[in-house]
Chains A and B, each alone.
Chain A
Amino acid sequence: MKYETVIGLEVHVQLDTNSKAFCGCSTEFGAPANTHTCPVCLGMPGSLPVLNEKFLKHSIRVALAIDCTVANFIKFDRKHYFYPDLPKDYQISQYDKPLASNGYLDINLDGQTKRIRILRAHMEEDAGKLIHTPTASLVDYNRTGTPLLEIVTEPDLSSADETYAYLTQLKSILEYLEVSDCDMEKGSLRCDANVSIRPVGQKELGTKTELKNMNSFKGVRDALNYEIKRQEKQLDSGNPIIQETRLWDEAKQKTFSMRTKEEAHDYRYFPDPDLVPFTVDSLTIENIRKDLPELPQAKKVRLTAEYALSNYDAAVISADKHLGLYFEQAAKQYNNPKHICNWLMGDIMNYLNTNNIPAIKLKDLLPAKKLTAMLELIDQDIISGKIAKKIFPEIIATGKEASAIIKEQNLSQISDTSELESIIRQVIAENDTVVEEFKSGKDKALMFLVGQVMRKTRGKANPQMVNAIIKEQISSS
């Protein structure tokens, strides 16, 4: 049978505040265990929470960026369950009155734009971390109380690829807002997926499973693809889908049942009496809105208009805030944006990806000024594009200007006609058969001859000139 997939996502974003959600402890990642704690985040008897204002402001920023309605009445609830990483045995969260609701986010996939509705986004505190040793289970409370924003979509996603695109787009927005480092490996962005399938054409939703424990966007995509296939097999063989929570096992590339619905908690939500509800006036919200930076979607549109970039190029460059900034920095100094774009989309991205370097580092590794200086050398026929490709890792590695490297290694392009003519004469003399082939109309033969010239000049020959001179010498011979 043919099925269609329905996916809804819950994304937990750690917001980048200096101190925790309800106390003054640092949120720094990677500190020695239990050093960033105090009576409040340890849930000591008698301690009381006080809301971090920056947590609220960051949350509102995100809510506005994904076009949510921001509630003006803010209230917190307690969500109860017993677990050692939760020192109060309840989590401060928001239940029936989330901070934000009814938003959306547009994703681009295969040239199509699709609107994914956001059901709600609510503020809550993170739990600690359990560390299991062979003899004991230990708890690190450093993460306890870190501010989280949980963003929940409507079940609008219909494939693993759409889900991947949604996550990428959301991450891009969060980075533009400078509210989270979105590092899934550090746990600053976590994602649970609800997935169900139904025969194409069927109206009611199938039974869903909830997938947890994915620690990369790729993990989310793999887990969903696995789970969709598992559900299809299940239905095809006449077995029902059981409503349950399943854990993704990255090593085995499989999902496993963790708990069924019958074992689900009754969280006994009720308003936290320690945190007085309050209102946020619309002026405060409007001020936060005014303060929002240009977001990726708007930037993409502007890049296509202002720099005549293709939709695709503009989308890639605007997806990463730092790549976008870099591009515009370079474009200010150099008036061939397409040339910059080609380099960014090609060699530079390739270099960053191969070496696993985030785009934010690019401006330090290769200041825009150095890149544009190199591009100018190409324009002036001082070096060929090929030489530029060769030296650009050296510019990064040594920090030297392109011109200095060229000088040191004697790499300037040979554009001296007489020098080139003598080398080409030699090549033609050494390759009778190829010259005949060229004469009989084989274009490939020309490429071979150019290649020979390049070899003799260690790539320094001006390729346009070489082409012209070869043709001229052969036709006049």
Chain B
Amino acid sequence: MDITNLSAAKLLDLLNKKQISSVDIASAYLNRIESLDDKIKAFIHLDPEDVLKKAEKLKDSDSKLKGLPIAIKDNFCVKGQLTTCASNILAGFKPPYSATVIEKLENDGALIMGKVNMDEFAFGSSCETSCYGPTHNPWNLDCAPGGSSGGSAASVAARLAPWALGSDTGGSIRQPASLCGIVGLKPTYGLVSRYGLIAFASSLDQIGPFTQDITDSALLMNIISGHDPKDSTSVNTKTLDYLAGLNADIKGLKIGIPKEYFIEGIDSDVRDKVEQAIEIFKKAGAIVEPISLPHTEYAVATYYIVAPSEASSNLARFDGVQYGLRVKDGEKVNDSALIDMYMKTRGKGFGAEAKRRILLGTYALSSGYYDAYYLKALKVRTKITDDFNQAFKKYDCIITPTSPTKAFKLNEKTNDPLAMYLSDIFTISANLSGIPAISIPCGFTQDNLPVGLQILGKAFDEQMLFKVGHAYQQLTDWHTRVPEGCK
């Protein structure tokens, strides 16, 4: 039995039956990481000895997860463990506290394996802006895994971890999940506490699971969702069992297909696979109809005002005073020793994309520009949300491609920020409007790269996404495929 080829739910089943132990699982994954991660480079902070020690401790635990391991994106604070957001400016930073979701996981007996790679501060769609260098797509090592949660997606796709956590600000869970052929959910804004997630854009960030299938996604949501008094934006709704109702029939369900998401420039392979998937839903008895979300074309522009504005504010604190990098030696750039330290620390600590976004955001929030940019963007954001509200009056969910393209080559877009930004063109709207959206694998291109299908639902209706996704996974086996080099 190859432990690493099993889903989290199956591993849990074996743990519950005491057929395997947390140590067996940890060792199996560590061995696999040892043999494969030199090529994939998903993990950036991993201490195998520590993992084994934790596995030993959890061996006879009667907790819910019994030492089942999980990979964590490097922007989650884990007490006493390196947490760098893949940025030089947080070099050596070990937070004095853990994120709420980390506490929830640990309380339920999860084993925090280590930290996986990401675009610096989640700024990117390819995992290439990481100060540790890129992660490689397990389906084709010359390709990017997508981003920003590229390490999370690659680690699950290559079966280096049974599941992983990531964060999604404009598509950072769904796009890499799509490009790596796994399941990635961005829950409704406010459903999962952001406390301890190092903020990129506070009004858009949401934590979510990377899993092999829908069942695992529902299982992980049962653990990480719920109100947190430490996060004012966390919503106090009743807790749901996301595993319940997975098998419900989708017959008669109304699915909308927005025409704005099948535009020119989308890969023909991607379009074909998504259209084939839609046919499967029709066959299963769903009512599929074309719809329009008229403000879709403004989503990217709106996002690139709102997100950098909030980022420029959130990243102000990385100033060399309390933690992380401090540069005070070298050539003086300012007469004031303090400003000199600020400038050199931030100059050296942030990468090019981080600087670009800080500049964009600083400009947009500047006195005299605020109304024209940020305020305007907020108004358009409302329009985009209204589009969805209208659509969900008639439809149970909306289906689109997750990303307009399959996985692209490493370095292909690094010199063209705009082309990179367009990689999130189909995922951004869900963040702007706060609604949940999931990406599930729906086939492969001719050159054997995965294609992802996005299902969007009403706020707090994750159950709908799971039901629809699970129905699809009962009729297809795309989600069971493992990259050739990782078998």
Contact = CB atoms under 8 A, between A and B. Distances in A.
Interface string B367-395: 10010001000000000000000000000
Given A84-B338, A87-B321, A273-B203, A46 B232 contact: no
Contacts of A273: 201-203, 233, 310
A55 to B, nearest CB: 14
B95 A80 contact: no
Most B CB atoms within 10 A — which of A51, A84, A267, A270?
A270
Contacts of A48: 194-195, 230-233
B95 A44 contact: yes
B401 interface: no
B265 interface: no
Interface in B178-223: 194-199, 201-203
Interface of B: 75-77, 83, 85, 90, 93, 95-97, 99, 194-199, 201-203, 229-233, 309-310, 312-313, 316-319, 321-323, 338-339, 342, 362, 365-367, 370, 374
22 contacts: A43-B317, A45-B83, A45-B85, A45-B93, A45-B317, A46-B95, A46-B194, A47-B97, A48-B195, A48-B230, A50-B229, A50-B230, A50-B232, A82-B339, A89-B317, A90-B313, A268-B370, A270-B310, A270-B365, A274-B202, A274-B233, A276-B233
A49 B316 contact: no
A71 B374 CA distance: 24
A80 B310 CA distance: 12
A177 interface: no
Nearest to B194: A48
B354 to A, nearest CB: 14
A275 interface: yes
Contacts of B322: 42-43, 87
A78 interface: yes
Given A270-B374, A275-B232, A39 B97 contact: yes
A39 B93 CA distance: 14
B307 to A, nearest CB: 11
Contacts of A47: 97, 195-196
A365 interface: no
A27 to B, nearest CB: 19
Nearest to B339: A82
A139 interface: yes
A275 B203 CA distance: 10
A88 interface: yes
Contacts, number: 100
Interface-central residue, B83, B195, B338, by most chain A CB under 10 Å: B195
B309 A46 contact: no
B313 A270 contact: yes
Nearest to B365: A268
A185 interface: no
Contacts of B97: 39, 44, 47
Contacts of A90: 313, 316
B232 A45 contact: no
Interface residues of A, number: 30
Interface string A45-77: 111111100000000000000000000000000
Contacts of A45: 77, 83, 85, 90, 93, 95, 198-199, 317-318
A80 B316 CA distance: 8
B95 A39 contact: yes
Contacts of B195: 46-48
A204 interface: no
Contacts of B366: 266, 268
Nearest to B83: A45
Q: Which of A43, A89, A90, A266 has the most CB atoms of chain B within a 10 A radius of its CB?
A: A89
A80 B315 CA distance: 11
A276 B229 CA distance: 13
B328 to A, nearest CB: 12
A137 B95 CA distance: 23
A268 B317 contact: no
8 interchain residue pairs of minimum CB distance: A89-B316, A273-B202, A273-B203, A268-B365, A45-B198, A46-B196, A46-B77, A46-B198
A113 to B, nearest CB: 40
A78 B315 CA distance: 13
Given A44-B97, A45-B93, A80-B316, 17 more contacts: A44-B77, A44-B96, A45-B77, A45-B198, A45-B317, A46-B198, A46-B199, A48-B195, A48-B230, A48-B232, A48-B233, A50-B231, A84-B319, A87-B322, A89-B319, A270-B370, A273-B233
A270 B309 contact: yes
Nearest to A83: B338
Contacts of B319: 82, 84, 89
Nearest to B320: A84
A268 B76 CA distance: 27
B194 to A, nearest CB: 7
Nearest to B342: A82
Nearest to B99: A46
Nearest to B228: A48
Contacts of B202: 273-274
A78 to B, nearest CB: 6
Interface in A75-134: 78, 80, 82, 84, 87-90
A243 B183 CA distance: 60
Contacts of B309: 270
A268 B96 contact: no
A143 to B, nearest CB: 16
B230 A87 contact: no
Interface string A258-269: 000000001111
A268 B313 contact: yes
A89 B339 CA distance: 13
B250 to A, nearest CB: 34
A90 B311 CA distance: 13
A51 B362 CA distance: 26
A44 B78 CA distance: 12
Contacts of A275: 232
Contacts of B317: 43, 45, 87-89
A276 B75 CA distance: 23
A274 B232 contact: yes
A112 to B, nearest CB: 41
